[in-house]
Amino acid sequence: MNAPTPRENLQGLDLLAEIKRLKKERNAVILAHYYQKPEIQDLADFVGDSLELSKRAAETDADVIAFCGVKFMAETAKILSPQKTVILPDMAAGCSLEDACPPGKFKAFREAHPDHIALTYINCSAEVKALSDIIVTSSSAETILSKIPPEQKIIFGPDRHLGGYLSRKFNREMLLWPGVCIVHEAFSETELLKLKAQHPGVPVAAHPECPPHIIDHADYVGSTSGILQYAQTIKGDTLIVATEPHIIHQMEKAEPTKTFIGAPGADGNCACNICPYMALNTMEKLYLALRDLQPQIHLDETVRLAAKKSLDRMLEMASGTVGKGDLGRA
Ligand code: 13P
Ligand code: SF4
């Protein structure tokens, strides 16, 4: 996916200074996910994983939330803070998991399984959140699942790899929606094994959106925040990282003497593990979004209120899990 060129020629503009000026003028807060470009991570007020970003969005007293992430994240901010203006630098910044789960099909699936509750990964549309019972993120999923009685039947969507990972770890059957993250799906087991052979004894940290043939080689499995924390606790000086490689920017800032190697895709050095949706956000588009307060997230109020219920359940049930990398295994 190629990023569309900005609408205007902004050459000669000091974008960083302009973004800072507009941020003040608008009383805006800039939230960024770890998969954003380094220059965006560096100017953000807060960088975090999906759960931490949701909490920040719910708590901020800014008038404007500039969300440097993807659409479902900006929608989550709007669901939790409806009185605020939420802008996303590029409205085309979607997610393959959201695309894999159209609300109409999800509703029909739920109706076909009336004795199941829907435990739904936050990477989905506001409409799918509204059709769900409890939302989870990769850092809250395990805590939340452990609080659901064992006899309760569960639909888990839309990430079949995260669902499968939880199902195996908890030895608990769940009906899995067949969505995948195109980024984590792209890691190659063959190339990972070659890399491990070149770096004997070096641990692998993987995100649970990875397929089982990658997870099986991981020493640690967790959310982006969990992986970042793991990077700071390893005894050695090198780590293989099986998630979107822009997170390495924070690892290098926290641990400048350590080496972080991105896990390879199919041909060993393709850019297929870079999230094409996250990459749509640029400094230019962030500047324009703050200047024009566009593109802006708008939600139907009925959908928002129903989606808020399932998100609030997550925030209640997940309390205490932020930043603990709950999915981690030693
Ligand atoms: P977390 O940051 O919550 O681990 O999510 C990763 C991801 O793929 C976001 O789209
Ligand atoms: Fe979606 Fe995967 Fe990109 Fe995250 S990394 S936004 S799950 S496509």
Distance (Å) from CA 13 to ligand 1 centroid: 32
Tell how far the Cα of 14 is from the centroid of ligand 2, in angstroms.
30
| One CATH from 3.40.50.10800, 1.20.58.220, 3.40.1280.10, 3.40.50.2000 for 187-262 | 3.40.50.10800
pLDDT score, position 5: 52
Predicted confidence at residue 6, as pLDDT, reads 52
Q: Output the CA torsion sign for 143, 181, 308, 279.
A: positive
Dihedral of CA 159/162/168/170: which sign? negative
How many Å lie between the centroid of ligand 2 and the Cα of residue 96? 6
Which has the closest alpha carbon to 96: 209, 188, 208, 2?
209
Tens digits of residue pLDDT in 133-189:
999 999 999 999 999 999 999 999 999 999 999 999 999 999 999 999 999 999 999
For ligand 2, pick from 68, 96, 243 the residue to mutate: most ligand atoms within 8 Å of CB.
Answer: 96
- Reported in sequence order, the residue ranges of 62-209 that DSSP labels E, i.e. its strands, are 64-68, 85-87, 116-121, 134-136, 153-157, 175-176, 204-206
Q: Is the CB of 96 under 6 A from ligand 2?
A: yes
pLDDT value of residue 11: 87
Spatial CA neighbour of 33 closest among 253, 275, 260 = 275
Q: Does domain 6-94+278-299 have CATH number 3.40.50.10800?
A: yes
Strand stretches in 168-252, DSSP E? 175-176, 204-206, 220-221, 238-242
Cβ of 138 closer than 6 Å to ligand 1, yes or no, is yes
What are 128's two structure tokens? 């799918």
Nearest atom in ligand 1 to the alpha carbon of residue 51 is 3
* In the chain, domain spans: 6-94+278-299, 97-181+304-320, 187-262
How far the first Cα of the chain sits from its last, in Å, is 37
Among 2.40.160.10, 3.20.20.70, 3.40.50.10800, 3.30.465.10, what is the CATH number of 97-181+304-320?
A: 3.40.50.10800
User: 328 vs 263, which has greater pLDDT?
Assistant: 263
Residue 109 token pair: 């699936």
User: Cα–Cα distance between 200 and 89 in angstroms, integer?
Assistant: 42
What is the CA(314)–ligand 1 centre distance, in A? 16
Query: Mapping DSSP to helix (H, G, I), strand (E, B) and coil, where does residue 144 land?
Result: helix
What whole-number distance in Å separates Cα of residue 69 and Cα of residue 98? 14
